[in-house]
Structure 1
Amino acid sequence: MVLLRLSAAISAAFALQSYAALVPRAGYVVHEKRDVIPPKWSYTRRLESDAVLPMRFGLRQRNIEHLEDMLMEVSHPDSPNYSNHWSPEKVADTFAPSVETIDAVVSWLKASAIAPERIKLSSSRSWIHLNATAAEAEYLLDASYDVYTHEDSGAEHVSCISYSLPHHLKEHVDLVTPTLHFDVRVPMPAKRNVRRDVDVGPTEGSGRSVGQPGIGSLPKTTGKVSEILTELENCDEQITLPCLRALYNIIYKPVSTNQNTFAIVEYTPQAFLQTDLDMFFGNFSPSQVGQSPKLVSIDGGVAQTTNRSFNFNGESNLDLQYGMSIVNPQPVTLYQTGDLVEGGSFNNMLDALDASYCTFEGGDDPTQDGIYPDTLPGGFDKPESCGIVKPANIISTSYSMVESQITPFYAIRECNEYGKLGLMGVTIVYSSGDEGVSGHNDLCLNPDGSQSSNGTRFNPLFPSVCPFVTSVGATQILNGSSVNDPESACEEVIFSGGGFSNVFKRPSYQDEAVNSFLTNHPPPFTSAQFNTSGSRGFPDLAANGARYVVAVDGEFSLVFGTSCAAPVVASILTLVNDARIAIGKRPIGFVNPTIYSEQFKGAFNDITIGDNPGCGTNGFSAVPGWDPVTGLGTPNFPKLLARWLLLP
């Protein structure tokens, strides 16, 4: 197949090499392969045979095929075990790889002439780590490692287009890194004990740079606000705290603040400014002036104040100003992830929450995740933050990456971790994206799987497509309408992200709602445009995402995005937890099976206006019931609270 941005001669050579790699040697089977090279990358040369690669083998976890059933047992309102969440120890014991799996991989490595002292097993027993030369890695994986160059940044990175494993290991290994992902630095040959870094900047598709300006779905702004409008009749022009409280009937003051927990995730260099928090609080919540979130530094995460602009401060200021105000006086924790040099990824954040998932000295993918200790000048030089904090009851994240840019094995392994947190009673909320059915930068998929501005296949975002998170889309108040009128899907500045995964199958809790949508409101698209084979639909819920008044760098700005909607929904769920805890009940945990259940019908404001354009189409339409634009609708707090208080 044709690969992007290669000359004809190089393409022919690369195709021959690719064909050879896809025909594994005797006794081997292809484990993963890449169909196309990501945009703006081109083949440069073969990697030197003595360059050193940090090889990591992700071991297959026991009982992982039963994760959804286990999660339904503690999360579905009809289950007798509803809210009987698991301990971290039980989760770790249930899913730890078997001794047979560990022995099989270690024995193979030893038989391949890898000295035993070079083989390290992570503390979670989920990963095997090995520093291998390129020649060794190519032999072990029947692969070919090459160097590619990014046309904009000039960065050089290492990847292979496929790799294979012995047939008897296929059932024991989930994935191997570094292999197919891009954004791994070119390593130095083994004979020189130094590290050469030619990565000169973040690139789209790099998981560990999700906080960098220009990467991912950060909020958008239309500029400064000259006058703040405080009356409810002006909510179609500006969204403020009174507007949100009126829209979703939020009338509640937390009383269980010492027992409840709520966290918001930010990725360095995104950072809040205390002066902006105080400016916002001074206008909308005076009693909070001087309050700060409780910062948990993950892998050297810091709320930096050197870089100041909307691109650096808009996201964090938005999340914290509205999250802290809605749940006041509930304290809010800030999971600030990644140092200023290396950055952080979703996996880095997860490592800090679950010690059994943490992969210090084995596990994280250097092509997607920050690797710590960071040996670069000024980097976080301590061990990776591993299980350093008990997960908050509700965790809100307004960042994303394109599902097609990561391999299915990587996405599935990370998604399963969200499921494990759900077993422990944690609610994970993600924004669904701001480009409708398109991916970041309005790119869509071509038939060969590559991305381009004229692609026609819808390009969903991860982790929103993971069936074990709650995905939140965006709505807006139509011009001339009031807080008492129906909202529309957001179609101003941004479009609510939504659609269907190309990796994850549809979870059972969503079957009825999605089948109803496809049957009663069949989209005017074919299987060439979106996955029609029974896949996960998103988002699950929605909230207003247009015209938020946010204090940024000493001025108020109008802000748009599902980045606005996610912390609002997470804040409302935090208030539900508070009320349950106050009467001696447990947190709501993974909410999707509950909100899709019969008991919760009518607990949301159904959105039936608008769509989410992209990829040369109008996208999907908001219709009665669930739809891949606004999910089940926006929250009606009193109805949700009443229903959740009735559950065990």
Structure 2
Amino acid sequence: MLSSTLYAGWLLSLAAPALCVVQEKLSAVPSGWTLIEDASESDTITLSIALARQNLDQLESKLTTLATPGNPEYGKWLDQSDIESLFPTASDDAVLQWLKAAGITQVSRQGSLVNFATTVGTANKLFDTKFSYYRNGASQKLRTTQYSIPDHLTESIDLIAPTVFFGKEQNSALSSHAVKLPALPRRAATNSSCANLITPDCLVEMYNLGDYKPDASSGSRVGFGSFLNESANYADLAAYEQLFNIPPQNFSVELINRGVNDQNWATASLGEANLDVELIVAVSHPLPVVEFITGALPPVLRVLALQTQLPSSSGDFQLTVPEYYARRVCNLIGLMGLRGITVLESSGDTGIGSACMSNDGTNKPQFTPTFPGTCPFITAVGGTQSYAPEVAWDGSSGGFSNYFSRPWYQSFAVDNYLNNHITKDTKKYYSQYTNFKGRGFPDVSAHSLTPYYEVVLTGKHYKSGGTSAASPVFAGIVGLLNDARLRAGKSTLGFLNPLLYSILAEGFTDITAGSSIGCNGINPQTGKPVPGGGIIPYAHWNATAGWDPVTGLGVPDFMKLKELVLSL
């Protein structure tokens, strides 16, 4: 009797559905996105399961050991096999069995991702959700606001994508700050012209590059990420080099996640990518440059055999980025740091914020920091304006993270700002809108706008800028610093922030004038009103002595930085 009872119970357990738990959930549809209609069950969808990394609770301590000057292990970066040994990916066995049981057969493995194609109907049942179509401007995406996974898979799965991460509307073919210029002759800049347009020679002067000549064979390389198939243009780079008397140099391309290298001006989206490659070459020529082009999948799914530094200009308001997603991306960036890779990100061009409204369903006014610049394992690059001297750019995004606590390396610098450079009344007033205990950003800055940078897009001359220009400029300088170290028999700089906030702080020119603005109902990028945007009177950050949430530690002085990094 007992045996038959147990047998019957076992059969019942096989027939019962697995206990599911909500893995990710949005309280509201992200700002700017509108539900159009539910997807048809017969529509197809391609999804990726991000397998969890193990031992990530040890990531910060390992980064601290390898990236802190004075530590015996400083600069002894790991290779990919070391990463896989210390932070292994969870087994995919149970995940594959789960998909097979659901009748899903189009499955492939790519690094820590399990990719599969299915119908919306199957996906809805598999994740106990409802996929729908949403629109933001010209962009339409298939997304959901929550999904669940079986309880026994929660230790194996970080997240499923694309699901609850909506992202921002796709960039236009040209940078949002690009303005067409008349055709100009081939020339080199004079000091007086730098007050009108920023050229490669201006950058040499502004950041004290001197007559330093890097060695293309040193091993220092600069990579940059281009998303949604945006592609830098070979012909435009050649025209830029000819315009400014830079010896001819091309760049290589690696395609990731169905990326496409589109060299057709009529169809390509190239504004940000051209800005990246032209400014990187302007600063670091002739160091090798690599463009990583990804397809339509979000940045968490990038699987990069990366170079020594990677700048990016693709960010989102942190409040619209699901926390699971943000932490996954940030941890991957931390793992890259362990490999000796410096990852840079523009802080953003919206000052304190644009929408300035919480995304938790309460619709409370709130400062809106950007992601991934708020990740503590990335070096966020803010913006300055003017020339000789530079001052803070009012559109430079900065502030404090709502997701990530203040990292160890910036405790002194941020405490100095909060204790000595912001009044008690202001701090009390702002505390309802921001998290002063969070990671402060940006870390550093470089020229962004006013005057604009001169660039070449679709064969024509444009002026462009923003922190999307500051990031590749700073990346080029890091490339030069790595070149100097490698030629001296030393390692690359890798995860840069602990070094920045200690020894290298002396190698920056502090920016103490100007401020950022925002949360005034106007989008700083477009100058247009923000529908439903939160209004926070008097919202701004001032540039001050030391670190501040507009320009970070300041702008680089290459010659000073070179001497400092060679002393390590």
Q: SS of 2:242's equivalent?
A: helix
1:180 to 164, 169, 173: 164
1:619 to 540, 543, 564: 540
1:346 to 288, 299, 305: 299
CA distance in 1: counterparts of 2:297 and 2:122, whole angstroms = 29
Match of 2:523 in 1: none
Match of 1:22 in 2: none
1:421 to 324, 327, 336: 336
Contact 1:138/1:145, CA 8 A, preserved across alignment: yes
Return the offset for 1:243.
1.7
Task: Tell which deviates more after alignment, 143-152 or 78-87.
Answer: 143-152
Label 1:449 to 1:282 Cα distance change in 2 as closer, same or farther (>3 A): farther
Match of 1:13 in 2: none
Residues 187-206 of structure 1: pairs in structure 2 closer than 5 A: 205=168
CA distance in 2: counterparts of 1:146 and 1:551, whole angstroms = 41
1:266 to 223, 226, 246: 226
Return the offset for 1:254.
0.8
2:130 to 145, 149, 154: 145
CA distance in 2: counterparts of 1:40 and 1:398, whole angstroms = 20
Structure 2 residue 198 is the aligned partner of structure 1 residue 239 = yes
Match of 1:467 in 2: 376
Return the offset for 1:335.
2.4
Amino acid at match of 1:399: S
Q: Deviations over 1:501-533 (max 9, x none)?
A: 22222221122212222222235543332223x
TM-score when scaled to structure 1?
A: 0.73
Residues 518-533 of structure 1: pairs in structure 2 closer than 5 A: 518-522=418-422, 523-524=426-427, 525-532=429-436
Q: SS of 1:235's equivalent?
A: helix
Contact 2:392/2:551, CA 8 A, preserved across alignment: yes
Structure 2 residue 509 is the aligned partner of structure 1 residue 605 = yes
1:630 to 544, 547, 551: 551
CA distance in 1: counterparts of 2:139 and 2:340, whole angstroms = 45
CA distance in 2: counterparts of 1:154 and 1:301, whole angstroms = 19
Amino acid at match of 1:144: T
Q: Deviations over 1:557-600 (max 9, x none)?
A: 32221121111111111111111111111111111111012x22
Match of 2:319 in 1: 404
CA distance in 2: counterparts of 1:552 and 1:119, whole angstroms = 40
Match of 1:433 in 2: 348
Amino acid at match of 2:489: G
Label 1:105 to 1:621 Cα distance change in 2 as closer, same or farther (>3 A): same
Contact 1:612/1:629, CA 8 A, preserved across alignment: yes
| Number of aligned residues | 525
CA distance in 2: counterparts of 1:273 and 1:606, whole angstroms = 35
Return the offset for 1:180.
2.3
Label 1:54 to 1:276 Cα distance change in 2 as closer, same or farther (>3 A): closer
Task: Tell which deviates more after alignment, 28-37 or 74-83.
Answer: 28-37
Match of 2:85 in 1: 93
Contact 1:474/1:496, CA 8 A, preserved across alignment: yes
Structure 2 residue 285 is the aligned partner of structure 1 residue 332 = no
Structure 2 residue 472 is the aligned partner of structure 1 residue 567 = yes
Return the offset for 1:554.
3.9
Contact 1:301/1:337, CA 8 A, preserved across alignment: yes
Label 1:635 to 1:133 Cα distance change in 2 as closer, same or farther (>3 A): same
Label 1:274 to 1:140 Cα distance change in 2 as closer, same or farther (>3 A): closer
> After TM superposition, where is structure 1 displaced by more than 6 Å over at least 4 residues in a row?
106-110, 226-229
Structure 2 residue 62 is the aligned partner of structure 1 residue 78 = no
Label 1:237 to 1:456 Cα distance change in 2 as closer, same or farther (>3 A): farther
Match of 1:220 in 2: 177
TM-score when scaled to structure 2?
A: 0.82
Return the offset for 1:81.
0.5
Match of 2:415 in 1: 515
Structure 2 residue 230 is the aligned partner of structure 1 residue 277 = no
Q: SS of 1:456's equivalent?
A: coil
Contact 1:436/1:612, CA 8 A, preserved across alignment: yes
Label 1:241 to 1:56 Cα distance change in 2 as closer, same or farther (>3 A): closer
Q: SS of 1:429's equivalent?
A: strand
Match of 1:297 in 2: 255
Where structure 1 has 5 or more consecutive residues not aligned to the other structure, the ranges are 1-24, 183-203, 354-389
Return the offset for 1:282.
2.7
Match of 1:63 in 2: 55
CA distance in 1: counterparts of 2:189 and 2:51, whole angstroms = 56
Q: SS of 2:282's equivalent?
A: helix
Return the offset for 1:130.
6.0
Label 1:609 to 1:52 Cα distance change in 2 as closer, same or farther (>3 A): same
CA distance in 2: counterparts of 1:500 and 1:74, whole angstroms = 26
Q: Deviations over 1:1-33 (max 9, x none)?
A: xxxxxxxxxxxxxxxxxxxxxxxx996543321
CA distance in 1: counterparts of 2:132 and 2:249, whole angstroms = 49
Q: Deviations over 1:125-149 (max 9, x none)?
A: x4455666656655554x3314244
CA distance in 1: counterparts of 2:495 and 2:235, whole angstroms = 35
Q: What is the CA RMSD across the aligned residues, in angstroms?
A: 3.2
Q: SS of 2:541's equivalent?
A: coil
Label 1:154 to 1:31 Cα distance change in 2 as closer, same or farther (>3 A): closer
Match of 2:494 in 1: 589
Q: SS of 1:612's equivalent?
A: strand
Q: Deviations over 1:599-627 (max 9, x none)?
A: 22322111111111111244211111111
Once the two structures are aligned, what percentage of the paired residues are identical?
A: 33
CA distance in 2: counterparts of 1:325 and 1:67, whole angstroms = 35
Match of 1:122 in 2: 109
Contact 1:257/1:329, CA 8 A, preserved across alignment: no
Return the offset for 1:500.
1.8
Contact 2:159/2:325, CA 8 A, preserved across alignment: yes
Where structure 2 has 5 or more consecutive residues not aligned to the other structure, the ranges are 1-16, 521-537
Label 1:29 to 1:303 Cα distance change in 2 as closer, same or farther (>3 A): closer
Structure 2 residue 276 is the aligned partner of structure 1 residue 319 = yes
Return the offset for 1:427.
0.8
Return the offset for 1:552.
3.0
Q: SS of 1:628's equivalent?
A: coil
CA distance in 1: counterparts of 2:478 and 2:139, whole angstroms = 45
Match of 1:360 in 2: none
